Structure 1
């Protein structure tokens, strides 16, 4: 759907439904176990979307996107109404229940030895095994959470809620492994129920369920791609782009062969099932049910957790080849593109030491910035996704965004500029980034990798030194959108009021809130005055009226 009035109404309606269902959980109308039962079926879409799926399709059992059903060899029937979700970047998404599809029978995953899985995870985490699986899963949840993000609001220092969290993780883990989940009881009024705790429970349960086999299959795929690099077109191509063989080794770039079944054959030989390959996003099914590799004849870039575990891949076609230049693996139970940043593991040490974070679009852009300006900057790539709160959460675990801030350096084209404007709202919402937020252009229609190729590392470093304030880009966009040619008093007044609303949205925030994104409101006022030709004092008056309305009709813009 486009960003139009209908989409905004639908988003508002979906948020209203989610808020109503959350309120029913919090006041005890719905027990927390009700949410856990549904999260065990389709919780991979997040806390809020679990509520939305249940509200729209109460009998839902297996919910996937249109593309995911095709990959599984099934087709959504024509005329079926989509189940609407809210995507991580705040748009409207669509999924369908298995009852809305026709096609090949689903190949059930071979029964997993859930008991042995949990014991292996316990051994890897250095925790003593326990024959009571519910107790073991509960304890492992505590072990994992100590290495996870800081506690969400309301959970820090609260022993009771930590038990709720661990019990919930144990329930989802055992259900996901095909074992009998424990019978749990929770307080009848769950005022703590909400996306903060719910999404954390889902994240921890995914990590615990997939701690073993999913990690193995992704490691094996990465080793295969690395082994296929020599002899392919990729090494010479990357050298020509400015990425030496040493850089390729450091970033562990690989190659997916043209043969559409080479990876599947290799992974099968290692004992991995077809269902594991499909679930990991490494293979898909044709309409006839045959398995084929997701990535073919592509340079391969591994997406990793901050600790280094491979969770997904991005594949790039050679120049001039037919098809999408970059291909992301599909979302899976343990990989979500909108939560991932390429290069986060590779740059974590420099980020921790205070390097200025740079957000770019593609993996080659991230590598280009890192090889050109490693002393001062550390780049990570959104891989085509809009900047999301989840990505910023991952970045903030390593980098001090309140001190270092960050730089947005998306492609210098219409899509990239629109992405930068959208990023502003994500970065400043709830004061996610309190440090300075800059924007960098690598030249008209250019990206970091293209600049490296055409003019070398010094040109990339020079472009980074031209950083401007992202807030000015946002203000200019508001002025251009509302002020027309700025040739009349009315046009200039309209433009000033539009820009001032941007300033007021942060300037009016509580101390320590999003106002930190614009630490010098006077500087923003001066920019608006210079841009519109309106007197500085008049812009200040309009800002004061906007923050604290007095009922005035307007102001002199002469």
Structure 2
């Protein structure tokens, strides 16, 4: 593997762009080799069985950078598993869904505790149980059964007749590929597959679709889902903790707590992993899921202790991670997220997106807030008009916007940014606006303030649901806040003609560079009112700026 730079040293923006371009070129080159038959499709399947969780393109990139890669994880995931990436090891570079760089490492680049095998029942029994849960009873060969289940999950089709007589072309390629990957995952011998010598269809579209079908199929085996088991445990522990009274005092009734499936992580640090062990989950699986970490002695310690727990779900509803909140006044970070794992990447998921999807589909206006209590507060107070989701931090990413756009048409519904009304929240709102512009969201983008130093949960607690609804009705255009920030940054006190013109030039650059159409007359009027510069002069500056950009 060539020197790609160590973790944490992505370099300047220009270097990152060059590296991204190089990686995309590598992926395109490897895809072309799959399409012309230089690399057989089975070559990709063999590697997808090892690290396909990172997606089609990244599977190619891992293989290109580290040919013998077998077990690939992030720096944080290796630490959680009790292993340390050796100093000086170069990261295997991947491309995230929002177009950024990410580093992972192969097990051969690490030292530490030996990895434990996941305790599991026979793969044959698991496959038949998945089939039963999908309502399909099949007695055929295991490879044929997995093939049929791929059709059931992928398209909702009725199973093909025995002998696969109804399966042709690309549908067969997909189903055979899914069957191969599922059988390998279950520890069963995969079938010997035959594909056309050239694969003009090879690429991210079919590759990622195959991987998504595998994930959906495997999620039907609920008894082996360590995250689901942890969520059940947390929910069972809530009633005997301080959590219900605390949440009720914040304005969240017992019914709301049940609806949002809130839980509690016991204080001891041993309770969760002991329960998961009793259900047959291995220590390695518990650690890999981000639910515990290894001490120096090798013993496990639960990651979440004495915290109210909120589940973050993947788009298909599976629990991907958790956010835990300490009681007021306790030492430590108020909120703690799951670490980066195979299932959980904070910058790609939104708390509450799965729970509010029905209302979003029906046209509720999406509201982006910071934390889980804020999301629940808005949903409790304004369920008829708004649907709140949380970023679990102030940074809004293009991957999160993309996930939201899969459920609601942002070009029609738009979006409300309602981050905390403090310096970090205001900065986050400005960054969110630029992210939305990059994503070319054309719907109305608003901003809401719940009062100095207050968030939606605070307002619900102090003044009730009506106050939250009134704050939402007082929505303002986020673009005006962005323009005001540019004016303040470039114009200073606006005492002189030069300061005012500098402020105007900064503001019109933002208007001119917007990726989507804006109400120019309203924006010009706003800049004129803020700077005291006549509208005609602002319009001239805007026209000149647009001409220069073109």
TM-score range, shorter chain: 0.7 to 0.9
- Look up the match of 2:88: 79
Q: How does 1:45-84 map to 2 (within 5 A)?
A: 45-84=54-93
- Look up the match of 1:303: 312
Q: How does 1:94-493 map to 2 (within 5 A)?
A: 94-110=103-119, 113-129=122-138, 131-146=140-155, 164-181=173-190, 182-185=192-195, 188=198, 190=200, 193-194=203-204, 196-213=205-222, 216-305=225-314, 308-384=317-393, 386-431=395-440, 433-487=441-495, 491-493=499-501
Q: Once structures 1 and 2 are overlaid, which stretch shifts more, 376-385 or 258-267?
A: 376-385
Instruction: Give the superposition deviation at 1:493.
Output: 4.5
Given that residues 30 and 60 in structure 2 are in contact (C-alpha distance below 8 angstroms), is that contact kept between their aligned partners in structure 1? no
Given that residues 73 and 289 in structure 1 are in contact (C-alpha distance below 8 angstroms), is that contact kept between their aligned partners in structure 2? yes
Q: Once structures 1 and 2 are overlaid, which stretch shifts more, 407-416 or 522-531?
A: 522-531
2:507 paired with 1:499: yes
Describe the superposition over 1:382-421 as per-residue Cα deviations: whole angstroms up to 9, x where unpaired. Answer: 2227333443344334434333222111122232223222
* Gap regions ≥5 residues in structure 2: 1-5, 158-167
Instruction: Give the superposition deviation at 1:188.
Output: 3.7
Q: 1:537 to 1:75 in 2, by over 3 A?
A: same
Aligned residues: 530
Describe the superposition over 1:345-367 as per-residue Cα deviations: whole angstroms up to 9, x where unpaired. Answer: 33233323322111111110111
Q: Once structures 1 and 2 are overlaid, which stretch shifts more, 106-115 or 308-317?
A: 106-115
Aligned partners of 1:534 and 1:167: how far apart in 2? 67
Instruction: Give the superposition deviation at 1:160.
Output: 5.8
Aligned partners of 1:534 and 1:33: how far apart in 2? 66
| Secondary structure at 2:446 match in 1 | strand
Instruction: Give the superposition deviation at 1:34.
Output: 4.6
Given that residues 51 and 72 in structure 2 are in contact (C-alpha distance below 8 angstroms), is that contact kept between their aligned partners in structure 1? yes
Q: 1:478 to 1:165 in 2, by over 3 A?
A: farther
Aligned partners of 2:508 and 2:198: how far apart in 1? 47
Given that residues 93 and 103 in structure 2 are in contact (C-alpha distance below 8 angstroms), is that contact kept between their aligned partners in structure 1? yes
Q: Once structures 1 and 2 are overlaid, which stretch shifts more, 492-501 or 467-476?
A: 492-501
Aligned partners of 1:534 and 1:4: how far apart in 2? 45
Consecutive aligned runs of 4 or more in structure 1 exceeding 6 Å deviation = 1-5
Aligned partners of 2:102 and 2:153: how far apart in 1? 31
Given that residues 450 and 468 in structure 2 are in contact (C-alpha distance below 8 angstroms), is that contact kept between their aligned partners in structure 1? yes
Instruction: Give the superposition deviation at 1:467.
Output: 0.9
Aligned partners of 1:421 and 1:199: how far apart in 2? 33
Q: 1:531 to 1:127 in 2, by over 3 A?
A: farther
Q: Once structures 1 and 2 are overlaid, which stretch shifts more, 93-102 or 134-143?
A: 134-143
Instruction: Give the superposition deviation at 1:41.
Output: 2.5
- Look up the match of 1:521: 520
Describe the superposition over 1:105-139 as per-residue Cα deviations: whole angstroms up to 9, x where unpaired. Answer: 11122466334333322322234536444444444
Given that residues 141 and 170 in structure 1 are in contact (C-alpha distance below 8 angstroms), is that contact kept between their aligned partners in structure 2? yes
CA RMSD of aligned residues (A): 3.3
TM norm structure 2: 0.85
2:18 paired with 1:13: yes
Given that residues 265 and 307 in structure 2 are in contact (C-alpha distance below 8 angstroms), is that contact kept between their aligned partners in structure 1? yes
Aligned partners of 2:197 and 2:434: how far apart in 1? 37
Q: Once structures 1 and 2 are overlaid, which stretch shifts more, 311-320 or 201-210?
A: 201-210
* Gap regions ≥5 residues in structure 1: 149-158, 508-513, 552-558
| Secondary structure at 1:123 match in 2 | helix
Describe the superposition over 1:491-544 as per-residue Cα deviations: whole angstroms up to 9, x where unpaired. Answer: 54454444334333346xxxxxx43xx3x2332233233334443334334444
Aligned partners of 1:392 and 1:430: how far apart in 2? 8
- Look up the match of 2:161: none
Instruction: Give the superposition deviation at 1:369.
Output: 0.9
Q: 1:26 to 1:309 in 2, by over 3 A?
A: closer
